[in-house]
Structure 1
Amino acid sequence: MNPLAQKTVEYLQAILPGAVGLMHPLSLELRNGLPHYLTRFDLYELRVARREVLLAIAPKDGTGGETKKMLHILATKTGLPVLYVLPSIQSYERQRMIEAGIEFVVPGSQLFAPTLGLALREQFATALSDPSDLISPSAQAILITMLLDDMRSPVVASALAAKIGYTGMTATRAVRDLVAHGLVEQRRQTRTKVIALTASRADTWKRAKPLMRSPVLRTEHPRRPEIKAGHPVMRLAGVDALSHLTMLAEPKHHIWAVSQMHWVEIQRNQPPVLYAGDAQEAVQVWSYPPTLGGDTKTVDPLSLILSMNGSDDERVLMAIDELETKLWR
C-alpha cells in the first residue's frame, strides 16, 4: 500500500471520526476498464461519509499538466468521485486547483471535497476552526521564538518567556499548551525545568502551523506623525514587510504592527489619535509582540506568514511560498 494513501486514511479518520471506512485498491474490474496512461495512478477505494470515493495518487513523474482532464476521465470511467491525494501543495497551486474544481486532500493539513456533501464540509470546518484546538497566542509566541533562534538545545521556559514580556504564570500555561500538542517536551535539568523541540525546526513548523492563528486582532488607520520607522515596539507588517523579505513590489503606504498592550500605551502617552478615511498609515494591533524577530525593520517571517492567512492575491501567495521555502534551507 502506498504510504501516502495510509496517511490520507489516518488524516480523514482523525477529522471525521466514525465517518471513514476501510480502504482497498481499486477493483480489477474497474482498473481493467481504464486507459493505460491512467493506470500509472495509485488508485484506492474508500468509503467516506457514506459515499464511495476514489483516492488518486499521481505518478512520481507527474501528470504532465493534464491533471484536471485525467481526474475527470477517472471519475467518468469508474463512476466515483475522485479525491486527488498530494503530499504537499503551494498556496498558489491550491488556489488554482480550487478554481479548477479539482477536489484534493493533503494529509495532515488540507481537504477540499465539496461533492462529498455538506456534512463532511461542516465537520471538517468545525474540526479545524474550533478555538480549543489552537494553541494560545503566548504559546505561539514562545514556539516561534524557539524556531527563529534555532533553539535545538533545552532552554529555560521562564527566561525565554520573560524576554518576550510574559510572566512566569503565563509561561507555565503556554508550556503546558505546547507539551499537550506534542510540540515541545519538558524535563528537569538539575533544579530547573527546561523545554526543547520534539522535532526539527522545519517539521515542528509544519506540525504547528495548522494549530496557530493570525496574530492580528484588528487593523486601525490613525493619522499620527509618531508612527515611523525606528519605533522600538513597532515593526513593518503585512504586504509592506513581505516586500522587504521577498521580490514582491513595495506598497505605496506603510503597514505597521504593534502589540495590544503597547498600542494602549502609545495612545495614552501621545497626543490624541485622529482617524480619517484618507489616513495613509495602517496599524495592525497584535495579540503578542511583533518584535520576536529582534532588532529588525519587519515582523518575524513566521508571524508574517500567519498574519496573511486567507489572502487571495496570487502575487502575495507566491511571495509567501518563496519566503517559507527560504526559511528552512
Structure 2
Amino acid sequence: MPVLRSEISLYLETTLGVEAHLKPASDLKVPHFIKETYKLLNLVLLVGSGVKQSKFLMVLLLPFDDEYPGVVTLGKHISQIQKFTDKVVVYVCPALSPPERRSLINSHINFIQPGYQLFIPELAMDLRESVRTRRNEGDVSALLPAAQAMLLARLYQGWDSNTVFPSNGLLGEFKYSRVTLAKVIDQLLKLGIVHPAQSLGFKNYYSFAAPPSDLFKKARHFMRSPVKRKVAIDRVLHAGNGVFLAGETALAKCTMLAGPSQPVFGMTKKQFDSMVEEKKFKLAHSVDETRAWVEIWAYRCLKERKDIADEASLLLSLEDNPDERVQQALDNLKENIPWLKSED
C-alpha cells in the first residue's frame, strides 16, 4: 500500500513535535530509472521557533511498489541520487520487517517506517529510544489548554478497556495543529494518562491507562482555570454561536445558587476579538456602564449544547472563589458527574 504524504507528516510531527512540510522534488535531476522506481519528495523539518528556528532538509524516496529492494540495491540507488543533491536522502517504506530494519541501520541507510520507527543518523536520533528518554525526562507542571480541553472532552464521552485512539483521533472535534497534538500526546504520556496501545497501519494508537475517575484524580493537580481574563461589557449577550454561560451564572443554572445581578458569559479570545470588531458590544469603563461580564477562555465550550460551561471547567474556574455559597454549590455540582467526585 503506497505511503501517503499526510501519513508521513502526521508521523513526523506527532513523534518529533516539529513542523514537517512535504512537496514534490520535481526540480531534482536524477536518472530515469530512479523516477520510475520512486516518488521523490522534498521534506523540510522546522526545528525550534522564532529567530532560533532552523531547517533540516531531506529528500524522501517513496517506492511505487512496497517490495523492499534489499540493502545493496537500495544503497546503490541512494548513491545515484546523492550525486544530484546535498540533502539527506531517506528511504520511506510502510512494510519493513525487524531484520530489514536492522540491516538498514547496520548499513547506515536512513529510513522512515511511518508509525513504527525512523533512523536518521544525521538527526542523531533513533526515535524509538530517544523519544522514550525525552518523555521520561522533564516534568509537566501544568497541562496545556489543548491537553486539558481534549482530556476533559474524552472524560465526558468515556471509554472502555478495549478503546484505542489513533493520535489524531484524540482530537475529537478539536481543530488543533499536528504540532500541538504532538505536545498534547507527549504530556499525556509523561503523566501516564495514556499509553501506546498498538501500531495499526501508519498511525500511532493510544489507550487510556485507567477508568475516567482514576484519571481525573491523577490529572487534577495539573489542571488550571480556563479563564485567562475577565472584562466588563456594556450589554447582555445571548448564549450560542461561540458564546456560553460561564462563572456564577452557569453555576446558578446547574445548582440552587442564586444567579449574579450581572450575567457572566464565556468565549475564546478569537470569538471575543471578532465580536469587538463587529461592535457586538463595547468594553465598560465604569460601574454605571457595566451590564455583564465576559470571561475569555483558553478553549471553547465543551458541552454538546455549546451554550453553557461544562461542569469540570466551571469547577476549575471558580475553585478559588472565597464565597462559601459558591463553594457549596461547587460541591453540589460534583454530584452531577461521577468522575468529578473522585478528587474528594
TM-score by length of 2: 0.53
Instruction: Please state how far the C-alpha of 1:132 moved relative to its aligned partner.
Output: 4.8
Give 1:211-230 correspondences, 5 Å limit.
211-224=222-235, 227-229=237-239
Deviation larger for 144-153 or 160-169 = 160-169
* Alignment partner, residue 138 of structure 1: 146
* Alignment partner, residue 327 of structure 2: 317
Instruction: Please state how far the C-alpha of 1:251 moved relative to its aligned partner.
Output: 2.1
Match for residue 283 of structure 1 among 294, 308, 318: 294
Give per-residue Cα distances to partners, 1:197-244, cap 9 Å, x unaligned: 21111111111111111011010111146x212x31111011111111
* Alignment partner, residue 250 of structure 1: 259
CA RMSD of aligned residues (A): 2.1
Larger Rg belongs to: 2
Give 1:95-110 correspondences, 5 Å limit.
none
Distance (Å, rounded) in 2 between the aligned partners of 1:200 and 1:213: 21
Structure 2 residue runs of 5 or longer lacking an equivalent are: 1-138, 340-344
Query: What's the % identity of the aligned pairs?
Result: 27
Q: Which amino acid aligns with 2:292?
A: E
Q: Which amino acid aligns with 1:214?
A: S
Aligned to 2:336, the other structure's residue is in SS state helix
Match for residue 304 of structure 1 among 294, 314, 318: 314
Instruction: Please state how far the C-alpha of 1:326 moved relative to its aligned partner.
Output: 2.6
Aligned to 2:335, the other structure's residue is in SS state helix
Distance (Å, rounded) in 2 between the aligned partners of 1:224 and 1:188: 52
Match for residue 185 of structure 1 among 190, 195, 206: 195
Q: Which amino acid aligns with 1:240?
A: T
Give the number of equivalent residue pairs.
Answer: 196
Give per-residue Cα distances to partners, 1:247-299, cap 9 Å, x unaligned: 2122222101111222122222335724232312100001111x111214311
Q: Which amino acid aligns with 2:159?
A: M
Distance (Å, rounded) in 2 between the aligned partners of 1:203 and 1:321: 19
Task: Answer yes or no: is 1:198 the counterpart of 2:209.
Answer: yes
Instruction: Please state how far the C-alpha of 1:163 moved relative to its aligned partner.
Output: 1.3
Say whether the 8 Å CA contact 1:161–1:168 is kept in structure 2. no
Task: Answer yes or no: is 1:232 the counterpart of 2:241.
Answer: yes
Distance (Å, rounded) in 2 between the aligned partners of 1:314 and 1:274: 30
Say whether the 8 Å CA contact 1:235–1:258 is kept in structure 2. yes
Aligned to 2:198, the other structure's residue is in SS state strand
